[in-house]
Amino acid sequence: MASIHMAQRETWTSRIGFIFAAVGSAVGLGNIWSFPFQTATNGGAAFLVVYLLAVALIGFPTMLIEFVIGRRGEQNPVEAFRKIGHGQWSFVGGLGLFSSLLTLAFYSVVGGWVLSYIVGSATGSYFGDPGTYFGAVSAGPTAVAAHAVFMAITIGIVALGVTGGIERATTFMIPAILVLLVGLGAWATTLEGATAGYNYYLSPDFGVIANNFGTIVPPAMGQAFFTLSLGFSVMIAYASYLGEDDSLPADGGAIVVVNTLVALLAGFVVFPILFATGGAEGASGGAGTAFVALAGAFGNLPAGQIIGFVFFVVLLFAALSSSISLLEVPVSYITEHYGYRRSTTAVAAGVFIFLVGVPATFGTTWLGFYNDFVFKFLLPIAVLLLAVFIGWFADTDAMDELGRGSSVGGSFKTIWLWWVRTVVPIAVVVTLYLGIKALYTGLSSGAYFG
């Protein structure tokens, strides 16, 4: 059956189309919302340094792992493993699919908050009392309705197909995000808090890193995987629509660089805003504080209403260009495996995921635990398995695939393979150990459900 459906597989219309789609997946709430606030929570510039190292040294090589599997397999992330002759590893693709479902369920709830904040910026309704506004839109019927709208848009884009939906939407959204963020960053330089914000953001205190190694590394590594959409099978799915003449290292490099620039840029927008109205402390902490702190700042700044509106529109584009990639993982699997139509599948999977997300509209405690569970546990495990698989079980095929369509030399491939065999697994095991310890401490001290 698989071969019948394989014949109709779409491919990206152009190299840049693939890059936009993959950047769209990578650039999301993780860059613009979570990154500045994780930085604020974990000691400012110290976190930034560890995060950048994690992206370059572990994230980039891991992205190439997913690309190699996807393009070689030319199938959805579960069947790709079988196509390349290692069917017993399909569960790794399945694990990513599971993480995608779970993540989209909650991602869409937060996407719904963003929709409410766009409306709130237009009407000015959060300016008076940002805390109460957040409470009203993040839980209860408003949250459910906004979650439904966000999911409906996601379903609509995915139903239109890989080129007609995903590629077309991201080719519009990514340039828009870049232009608007640069504009916001330029505006932020004029704020009174700008210098203090930049200092906090950019002057690392290496003592802080040394003393807090165990608490900085797991979130930094988790953030690196999450922001690059690694461990979710998303990049396997996207690379499966690639042509042979694309250079995987060059495309991967471009995607990592643009994604990192967007996160850095988001910091240049958020920190001046926070320091103009108080400081970073108000923003460190759980999911909601970020929305409350920013909304509070917009309420107190000149032109805050229009700036707030633009900021949340950027956040919406970023969230949507990511959510479509999360939905594409189950949709690609179900359409290829069972032969159902894409549109029907997108609706059915989307509705199911919507229902899974509904409990997260009851309150935000759950979201914090869920976040840590994915960041500190599921993602590192998936990445560890991927690295062991490619490094030790499919190394010859992987080296061959990495070289196709690319001019990288043999030494790049050799170093990559060695790195994937040794450095990546060791780094991930250390992270996993530290992360599980932190999760356990959090659970037993009642930090989540206390």
Q: How far is the CB of 30 from ligand PHE (least distance, A)?
A: 2
Q: Are 270 and 36 in contact (CB under 8 A)?
A: yes
Q: Are 319 and 223 in contact (CB under 8 A)?
A: no
Residue 229 binds to ligand PHE (criterion: CB under 6 A) = yes
Say how far apart CA 77 and CA 90 lie, in whole Å: 8
Give strand ranges (E) for 156-200.
Answer: none
Please provide the DSSP assignment of 286-328 as one string. Answer: SHHHHHHHHHHHHHHSTTHHHHHHHHHHHHHHHHHHHHHHHHH
Residue 371 binds to ligand PHE (criterion: CB under 6 A) = no
Residue 427 binds to ligand PHE (criterion: CB under 6 A) = no
Positions 188 through 227 that interact with ligand PHE (CB under 6 A) = 226-227
Longest Cα separation, the chain: 63
Please provide the DSSP assignment of 405-425 as one string. Answer: T----HHHHHHHHHHHHTHHH
Give the count of alpha carbons within 13 A of 427, CB side only: 24
For 60, phi then psi, to 5°, come to -60, -50
Q: How far is the CB of 233 from ligand PHE (least distance, A)?
A: 9
Q: Are 402 and 248 in contact (CB under 8 A)?
A: yes
Mask: binding to ligand PHE, 24-53, rule CB under 6 A, as x and -? -xx-xxxx----------------------
Mask: binding to ligand PHE, 239-278, rule CB under 6 A, as x and -? ----------------------------------------
Q: How far is the CB of 364 from ligand PHE (least distance, A)?
A: 18
Residue 62 binds to ligand PHE (criterion: CB under 6 A) = no
Q: How far is the CB of 271 from ligand PHE (least distance, A)?
A: 18
The closest alpha carbon to 59, from 206, 202, 263, 195, belongs to 263
The window from 20-28, 128-136, 143-151, 346-354 that contacts ligand PHE (CB under 6 A) reads 20-28
Mask: binding to ligand PHE, 293-332, rule CB under 6 A, as x and -? -----------------------------x--xx------
Q: How far is the CB of 132 from ligand PHE (least distance, A)?
A: 27
Residue 435 binds to ligand PHE (criterion: CB under 6 A) = no
Residue 374 binds to ligand PHE (criterion: CB under 6 A) = no
The DSSP secondary-structure symbol of 358 reads: G
Binding residues (CB under 6 A) for ligand PHE: these are 25-26, 28-31, 103, 226-227, 229, 232, 234, 322, 325-326
